[in-house]
Structure 1
Amino acid sequence: MEPDAVRAAARVPHGGTTDSSVLDFSANTNPERPAGVDAVYVDALDASTRYPDDSYPDFRAAAADYVDCDPASVVPTAGGLEALRLAFEITLEPGDSALVPEPSFGEYAREVGLQGSTPVRVAHDELLDADPADHEIAVVCTPNNPTGELADPTRLREFAARCRDAGTVLVADEAFLDFTDASSLAGESGVIVARSLTKMFGLPGIRAGFAVAPGDLGDRLAVARRSWSLSTPAAAVGAHCMRDTEFVSRTRERVESERERLRQSLSASFSVSPSDAPFLLVDVGDRDVQSVVETALERGVAIRDATTFRTLDSHVRVAVKRPAENDQLCRALADV
């Protein structure tokens, strides 16, 4: 990390609220979690009087099964964002450049900048057509946050091949991919995949995730990873969650059904973008975004002010939750 870049940097706004009295649609996390998590956590807490096994064999095996890759290429991290930072740390030097999508997750440009490198912003729906040559890395978010669309699998793999040919590392943020039936890029040569367990399993406070890369990239990630990068409870709960394939299937079905129902309901008053993710991007038109956010909050619902994403100036983002909760969101946004 480049010290002068750190001095010039700032924090990036995120969704989520600490106010437990409101219904939180500002963070895209599952309102449900797999059965048995509590017991797994308690058992792991009892084992936390010792350092965890830094090789994390059980967690890595579960992650490898989850994304269909070699366990040796899995690098445990404290959440998806740590996987992204690790990817940037081992690939970027001061003066390098990185292709990043916009609008998209604001941490990409921030993390690139912290390495003393330059983020080169490309429209999220044009990035797969961009020339990766002369850039050290290219970042793809699929499904993209906050717009919600899944990258076309064929075009994405073609872009990965062009990156390999150009000597450019492709960093694929798949934080929301498990809400779709699309295959992961995990194990692809020249690609670093970042995965988060926060969203699907509804446990943002656990801080569990992982990176995947084969060959030299994977070796460098493994060396650079902080020792004991996952707490014992995080590793145990993460492995337990990833093995609950029924929970994942049920969640996908609910999100797909409720997302469409919510989209149709909100479309009566707003312009709502199609989405493959557990959230919807809503254009509130000529309404004042801050007033919309504040009105919803007064009615007991927190939504994300999406104008904090570059290029968006009239949008909010809302998560997709369970039927009764989604109905409450629609009531909170009625007549705003």
Structure 2
Amino acid sequence: MLEHGGNLRDAALRFGRSDWLDLSTGINPAWYPVPQLAAQAWHRLPESDPALAEAACAFYGAPSMLPVAGTQAAIQSLPRLRAPSRVVVAAPSYAEHAHHWAQHGHAMRQISYAELDGALAQADVLVICNPNNPTGATVPASDLLRWHEQLAARGGWLVVDEAFGDTDGGNSIAAHTHLPGLIVLRSIGKFFGLAGLRLGFVAANGEILKPLADMLGPWSISGPAQQIAIAALRDHAWQEQTRRQLRDSGQRLRSLLAVHGITSHGTDLFQWWPEARPEQFHEFVARHGIWVRLFTQAARGIRLGLPPDEMGWQRLRTAVEQWSKEKR
């Protein structure tokens, strides 16, 4: 099983402390306030509520969406819906994409973002995170749609993971997913801060959504998760306020790092930089009770999310300041 952020049990075992400031996931620390649930949500089998897909389509601007048990469920299932294909996964990227496309008989290659245009002619499927996780890099929607047109002409797919796209939807191509072979993944976990809900959405046309739904089977989304998500997706006032707050917090995080000589990239939810000594930085801040995401391969560097409160901001500032002094 691949390593991911949020693994605080591992942190506690390794460093022997429990007072963690967890910045390892890039999830909104001010999560959506869960409403009171109808009593039968815990009792009835969770048949699909059409209102959930309707609310998702309205929020994401997609013509048709399938609710899934987190985008992870789609990431694991989509490779099983195609015959063996030539697959290009943009790198660096969320590691689960390459991991699952490498199985099920596909010929999978990881290609840097800068080389994607040239690699397209030798691919049947292109998988890309936009914005990228972990670097925050983005690809213009016009480029994605051009790539999709080339792939679709030979029966190929373009899979775009937009899990971190809720703070700035300017590059989303969800509105175009009625087109054959265009698949967009969205997540409730990041912007709404509801990772524990295990809920995401796949936008695509019926030729993809129907076999995917058949593969995932009935009752894949719990009743409580459906009720909570419908409320969150319809709450426009909370969404606008949260976007403003995340914009301010994202700028604050970039500025905090820049003051101490760190040039970072990312989204309003996280920042990443190619730290020269990532293992040492990770160890250093962990000794201060701060858990960040360490990358040691394609995206060698550090990613960290937003502190949840002022005390967390002060802890982070102190640790980064001390790291900066130690480097000198």
Shorter chain as denominator, the TM-score bin is 0.7 to 0.9
**Which residue is 1:115 aligned to?**
104
**Which residue is 1:13 aligned to?**
3
Work out which of the residue numbers 46, 58, 65 in structure 2 matches 1:65.
58
Q: 1:62 to 1:137 in 2, by over 3 A?
A: same
Work out which of the residue numbers 285, 288, 298 in structure 1 matches 2:287.
298
Identity of aligned residues (%): 30
Q: Secondary structure at the match of 1:177?
A: coil
**Which residue is 1:29 aligned to?**
27
Whole-Å separation in 2 of the counterparts to 1:92 and 1:49: 40
Unaligned runs of 5+ in 2: 10-17, 324-328
Whole-Å separation in 1 of the counterparts to 2:298 and 2:120: 22
1:284 maps onto 2:261 in alignment: no
Work out which of the residue numbers 293, 307, 318 in structure 1 matches 2:304.
318
Q: Secondary structure at the match of 1:179?
A: coil
- The structural deviation recorded for 1:178 is 0.6
Q: Secondary structure at the match of 2:159?
A: strand
Work out which of the residue numbers 32, 38, 42 in structure 2 matches 1:48.
42
Whole-Å separation in 2 of the counterparts to 1:246 and 1:327: 29
Q: 1:271 to 1:126 in 2, by over 3 A?
A: farther
After the TM superposition, which residues 250-289 of structure 1 pair with which residues of structure 2 at under 5 Å, given as runs? 250-285=241-276, 287=277, 289=278
Superposed CA offset, 1:240-283 (max 9, x none): 11112222222222222222222122123344233335111123
**Which residue is 1:247 aligned to?**
238
Whole-Å separation in 2 of the counterparts to 1:271 and 1:162: 39
Q: 1:284 to 1:226 in 2, by over 3 A?
A: same
CA contact (8 A) 2:26 2:190 kept: yes
Q: 1:271 to 1:18 in 2, by over 3 A?
A: closer
Whole-Å separation in 2 of the counterparts to 1:161 and 1:68: 20
Partner letter of residue 103 of structure 2? L
**Which residue is 2:68 aligned to?**
77
**Which residue is 2:316 aligned to?**
329
Partner letter of residue 150 of structure 1? T
**Which residue is 2:156 aligned to?**
168
Whole-Å separation in 2 of the counterparts to 1:196 and 1:39: 22
Worse-superposed segment, 135-144 or 254-263:
254-263
Partner letter of residue 39 of structure 1? Q
Q: Secondary structure at the match of 1:39?
A: coil
- How many pairs are equivalent? 311
Unaligned runs of 5+ in 1: 1-10
Work out which of the residue numbers 109, 131, 141 in structure 1 matches 2:129.
141
**Which residue is 1:191 aligned to?**
182
CA contact (8 A) 1:80 1:209 kept: yes
CA contact (8 A) 2:31 2:193 kept: yes
Partner letter of residue 85 of structure 1? Q
Partner letter of residue 317 of structure 1? R
**Which residue is 1:5 aligned to?**
none
**TM-score, structure 2 as length reference:** 0.87
Superposed CA offset, 1:89-132 (max 9, x none): 21243xx22110111110011111232323211102432x1343
CA RMSD of aligned residues (A): 2.1
**Which residue is 1:3 aligned to?**
none
